[in-house]
Amino acid sequence: MTSTLLAAGPASDGDVPAYWAALGVPGLIDSHVHFLPDSMQRKVWAYFDEASKHYGTGWPVQYRMPVEQRLDVLTALGVRAFPTLPYPHKPGMAMWLNDWSADFAERDPRILKSATFYPETGVEEYVNQAIEDGARVFKVHIQVGAYDPREAMLDPVWGFLAEAGLPVVIHCGSRPIPGTFTGAEPIATVLQRHPRLCLVIAHMGMHEYDAHLDLAATHERVYLDTTMFATAFAEAYAPFDRALLPRLAKLQDRILLGSDFPSIPYPYATQLAALHGLDLGEDWLRAVLWHNAAALYGITS
């Protein structure tokens, strides 16, 4: 069983624990998981229910279930740490989401307390408060938020986060649909201003993979997460040029497992199988599934 899994990768969610055990890691650390307030989660799922209107393809949510059942799924898979990654789409939401996320993190020791922000009056104050209250990761979504990350109002915030050394999971790539300020160029300018900023570029920056790999190669605190990357679903609209595989191998210590659980249109194992299928070796997989995130978030077991 072990040799078969290491040869072929996990075929189903039931295979996942044996797969990571065969690799010799203590479990999985998933850097891209969402838990949102119920009202917001329902709206997100309603949006995906009409995905054909937005993306031109269906998006059947795989883990549409109550919160406790979702937590149980992550337990069964062996996910040992994960954030909640809230994100606002308009002013006045961020503080509420930060308060909700802080409360939610108290219910499970695996949860990395998450926070977010938006370019609005008071943003400096509530970001500093979230840092003081123990936030371990921030989330921003440039396409959904529809704002320019280079805005002067956000410059002090990026500075606070760079000084604190806290990771910011940022959706800045232009898939599944582009935004006015998506792509590598805006965030490259932010990094020029704040070169010590720790960014985790969601979805490997799809579809602008090459440009976002450049950011990681240039800035020692820039990571990329694998959310939906290399799955058949994502390859249909954001294909990855396999000629870039040597760059992924070279950046082994800067790639983090991400899944987008629970709102993915396929089983969780599909993401792991896609990464396995890149044929970058067991050391690369061990780094991506556990060691890189463990070092970033200070997780020891």
What is the per-residue pLDDT across 126-153, written as a single tens digit (0 to 9) for each?
999 999 999 999 999 999 999 999 999 9
Would you say residue 124 has pLDDT above 90?
Answer: yes
The model's pTM is 0.97
Question: Residue 147 sits in which domain range?
Answer: 2-297
Q: Under a CB-based contact definition with an 8 Å cutoff, are residues 172 and 222 in contact? A: no
- The backbone torsions φ and ψ at residue 276, rounded to the nearest 5 degrees and listed phi first, read -60, -40
Phi-psi region of 204 (alpha: psi -120 to 50; beta: other; left: phi over 0): left
Confidence of residue 4 (pLDDT cuts 50, 70, 90): confident
In the block, which residue shows the tokens 């760079």? Answer: 162
* Closest listed residue to residue 16, CA positions, set 288, 273, 287, 204: 273
- How many domains does one find in the chain? 1
CATH number for position 165: 3.20.20.140
Length of the chain: 301
How far lies 115's CA from each of 12, 148, 287, in Å? 32, 19, 26
